[in-house]
């Protein structure tokens, strides 16, 4: 996941830690918000395993020398398309197929990814980001929030009852498709933070913590975003302080927030 | 008078199996039509077919410009779903006065309750914390918000105790009488049908009887409906 050297940019944040924090927090916000709906749609497992699919995409991008973000996004998009068709055609839980297909793609990706980049692809490395990453993250996270707010009502109705939602004339397949694209964008973005092995958890854990302590939807989604941002912020700071890998620390911070939320479970 | 809904030769097939076969009926304004039949008889499928939610054969013709609201049998509302009653109702209307009025109409609150009660004890509640009866009332309120001409109700009282059941049906009757609302409901219980419906459709994959309850619910029809081959209705799932 080679980033452009920061020095080529005219406007830039010179302190690398601050840059990491801004990008991390933005991704945490988006991941928490999108994750809130993934949990309600019972996609926790799918979400956790989904990020694995990105690895072969990253590998192909590295082999053919284009931006790994696009390789990852393409791979995630294909996987998401598979889930969407599966959900549309059948009422079957997609878990078995997801469990098989997603782990297989991880195995493929492991074979394809060049050795020097493998560790970074697996666990992410936010210390290697540049101003370009900030721009792309900022634009996409804003786009995710705008889109999610627009579709959240139909999405929520669809969670309560597909029939009821369709009977109201809402095009649920379209809503679901848009939602799944948002999922693939945030996961592809987050690979910088937590890598293909752990990004799924950054989507799921903050939202799971928020669900424990929320009575209504607005509080739930806002808290999910805040917990995502907090995980990124604390994780990056702690990793920086002790010279550790940020990705795992970010996810572990999310885990701690989840444990605390259990104490206040409603 | 033109019927609100006319259904002719309606059939639904899942994997080449007839789930519904040649169903014919019509519904006029302010009718209360009850659909009865054993489990797996295709009652819910009939609802989904007339709403256009499943592929079907035959004619389903609704009168022009009428609003049909539907309350399905099963909603996926877990106890821990983070959605408040207020948010659920806001999917339909953001007008508080209207919401409060409808909550009173369905008996979730009465006139002695002030705004504080409505806000604190009803609207701020998690949807999943409501009792079966309260949830059913919220669903009725939800379905009533935009003044539909027709209300489709799949088992209005599933999961409610006997006393609560009676009040829900009384409420539906009140809506029918006072607002001339047309109601089509699926029910398990024949006593309810006699008491509340002015026409009944007996269904067991095909139409067994159709007409006024007192005329058509004779012992032969009932035997045919419930007493046929056991294999026909022992399935416990609804399609």
Q: What is the pLDDT of residue A74?
A: 93
The whole-angstrom separation of Cα A61 and Cα B48 is 47
**CA-CA distance, A124 to B205, in Å (whole number)?**
57
CB atoms within 10 A of CB A180: 25
At B228 the pLDDT is 55
In the predicted model, what is the mean pLDDT of residues B221-238? Answer: 57
Distances (CA, A) of B188 to A128, B30, B191, B203, B225: 65, 22, 9, 11, 12
**Span A21-38, mean pLDDT?**
96
Q: What pLDDT band is residue A146 in, cutting at 50, 70 and 90?
A: very high
Q: Do the bridges between strand B32-36 and strand B199-204 make them parallel or antiparallel, or are there none, so unpaired?
A: parallel
Angle at B127 between CA B123 and CA B130, to 5 degrees: 90
A1: confidence class by pLDDT, cuts 50, 70, 90:
very low
C-alpha dist (Å) from residue A3 to A7, A130, A195: 11, 6, 15
Q: What is the DSSP letter of B182?
A: E
Q: Which of B75, B84, B86 comes nearest A160 by C-beta?
A: B75
Q: What does the alpha-carbon distance between residue B229 and residue B225 come to, in Å, rounded to a whole number?
A: 10
Question: Does residue B74 sit at the A interface (CB-CB below 8 Å)?
Answer: yes
- What's the confidence (pLDDT) of residue B159? 67
Q: Which residue of B has its CA nearest to A210?
A: B82
A80-91 mean pLDDT:
78
Checking if the pLDDT of A101 tops 60, the result is: yes
Residue range B170-220, pLDDT digits in tens: 888 888 888 888 999 998 778 888 888 999 999 988 888 899 988 888 888
CB contact under 8 A, A167 and B70: yes
Contact of A160 with chain B, judged by CB distance below 8 Å, is answered with: yes
Q: What is the number of alpha carbons within 13 Å of residue B119 lying toward its C-beta?
A: 5
Distance, in Å, from the CA atom of A67 to the CA atom of A57, rounded to the nearest integer, reads: 10
Sign of CA dihedral B73, B74, B78, B82: negative
pLDDT category of residue A158 using cuts at 50, 70 and 90: very high
- The arithmetic mean of pLDDT across residues B82-110, rounded, is 83
pLDDT at A6 over 70: no
Q: Is the pLDDT of residue B168 over 90?
A: no
| Residue-level pLDDT at A2 | 46
Looking at the predicted complex, does its ipTM rise above 0.95? no
Give percent above pLDDT 90 in chain B. Answer: 30
DSSP state of A207: H
Mean pLDDT of chain B: 84
- Which chain B residues contact residue A215 at CB under 8 A? 82, 84, 124-126
**Average pLDDT along chain A:** 88
Q: In percent, how much of chain A has pLDDT > 90?
A: 58
Residue B233 has pLDDT above 60, yes or no: no
d(CA A105, CA A220): 33
pLDDT of A192-217, one tens digit each?
A: 888 888 898 999 999 999 999 999 99
**Mean pLDDT value of segment A154-168:** 91
CB contact under 8 A, B70 and A164: yes
Q: Residue A161: which of B72, B83, B86 has the nearest Cβ?
A: B72
pLDDT at B111: 62
Query: Which chain A residues touch B81 with a CB distance below 8 Å?
Result: 40, 159-160
pLDDT at residue A182 greater than cutoff 90: yes
Is pLDDT larger for residue A113 or for residue A25? Answer: A25
Q: Quick one: pLDDT at residue A3?
A: 47
Beta bridge partners of B20: B12
Q: Which CATH class is domain A15-263?
A: mainly alpha
Residue B231 has pLDDT above 50, yes or no: no
Q: What is the pLDDT of residues B8-46, one digit of tens each?
A: 999 999 888 889 999 999 999 999 999 998 888 889 999
Closest by CA to B204, choosing from B5, B16, B35, is B35
- Contact call for residues A6 and A130 (beta carbons, < 8 A): yes
Q: Does residue A220 sit at the B interface (CB-CB below 8 Å)?
A: yes
Place of tokens 């192909």: A60
Q: Touching check for A163 and chain B: CB below 8 Å?
A: yes
Of the partner residues A160, A214, A217, the one whose CB lies closest to the CB of residue B76:
A160
Structure token digits, residue B115: 């705004």
Judged against a pLDDT cut of 90, whether residue A68 lies above it is answered with no
Gyration radius from chain A CA atoms = 18
Give the count of beta carbons closer than 10 Å to the beta carbon of residue B39: 12
CB B184 within 8 A of CB B28: no
- Check B76 against A159: CB less than 8 A apart: yes
Taking alpha carbons only, the member of A84, A12, A93, A99 closest to residue A52 is A99
**In the prediction, which pLDDT does A11 show?**
61
This model's pTM is above 0.80: yes
Q: How confident is the model at residue A179, as a pLDDT?
A: 94
Ranges A57-61, A254-258, B2-6, B130-134, most confident: A254-258
Q: Which residue of B has its CA nearest to A213?
A: B82
């Amino acid at each position: 996941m080679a980033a452009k050297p920061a020095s080529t940019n005219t406007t830039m944040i010179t302190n690398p830690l601050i840059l990491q924090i801004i990008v991390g927090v933005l991704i945490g916000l988006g991941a928490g918000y999108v994750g809130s709906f993934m949990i309600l749609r019972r996609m926790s497992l799918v979400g956790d395993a989904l990020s694995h699919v990105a690895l072969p995409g990253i590998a192909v991008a590295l082999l053919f020398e284009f931006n790994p973000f696009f390789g990852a996004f393409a791979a995630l998009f294909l996987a998401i398309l598979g889930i969407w068709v599966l959900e549309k055609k059948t009422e079957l839980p997609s878990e078995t197929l997801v469990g098989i297909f997603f782990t297989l793609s991880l195995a493929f990706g492991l074979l394809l990814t060049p050795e020097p980049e493998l560790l970074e692809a697996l666990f992410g490395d936010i210390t290697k980001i540049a101003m370009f990453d900030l721009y792309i993250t900022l634009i996409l996270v804003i786009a995710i929030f705008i889109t999610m707010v627009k579709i959240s009502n139909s999405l929520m109705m669809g969670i309560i009852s597909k029939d009821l939602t369709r009977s109201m004339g809402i095009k649920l397949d379209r809503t679901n498709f848009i939602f799944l694209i948002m999922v693939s964008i945030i996961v592809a973005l987050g690979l910088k933070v937590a890598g293909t092995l752990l990004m799924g958890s950054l989507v799921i854990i903050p939202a799971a913590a928020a669900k424990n302590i929320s009575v209504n939807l607005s509080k739930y989604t806002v808290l999910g975003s805040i917990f995502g941002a907090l995980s990124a912020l604390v994780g990056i700071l702690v990793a920086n302080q002790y010279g550790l890998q940020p990705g795992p620390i970010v996810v572990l911070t999310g885990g701690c927030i989840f444990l605390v939320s259990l104490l206040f479970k409603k | 008078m033109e019927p609100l809904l006319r259904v002719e030769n309606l059939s639904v097939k899942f994997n080449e199996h007839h789930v519904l076969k040649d169903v014919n009926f019509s519904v006029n304004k302010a009718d209360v039509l009850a659909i009865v039949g054993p489990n797996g008889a295709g009652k819910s499928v009939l609802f989904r077919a007339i709403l256009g939610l499943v592929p079907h054969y035959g004619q389903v013709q609704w009168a022009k410009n009428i609003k049909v609201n539907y309350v399905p049998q099963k909603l996926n509302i877990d106890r821990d779903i983070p959605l408040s009653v207020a948010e659920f109702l806001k999917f339909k209307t953001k007008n508080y006065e209207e919401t409060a009025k409808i909550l009173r109409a369905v008996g979730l609150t009465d006139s002695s309750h002030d705004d504080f009660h409505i806000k604190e004890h009803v609207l701020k509640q998690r949807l999943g914390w409501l009792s079966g009866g309260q949830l059913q009332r919220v669903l009725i309120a939800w379905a009533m918000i935009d003044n539909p001409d027709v209300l489709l109700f799949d088992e209005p009282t599933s999961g409610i105790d006997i006393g609560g059941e009676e009040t829900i049906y009384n409420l539906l009757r009140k809506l029918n009488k006072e607002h001339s609302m047309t109601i089509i409901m699926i029910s398990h219980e024949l006593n309810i049908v006699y008491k509340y419906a002015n026409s009944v459709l007996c269904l067991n994959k095909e139409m067994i009887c159709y007409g006024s309850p007192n005329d058509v619910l004779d012992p032969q029809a009932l035997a045919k409906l419930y007493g046929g081959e056991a294999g026909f209705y022992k399935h416990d799932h609804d399609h």
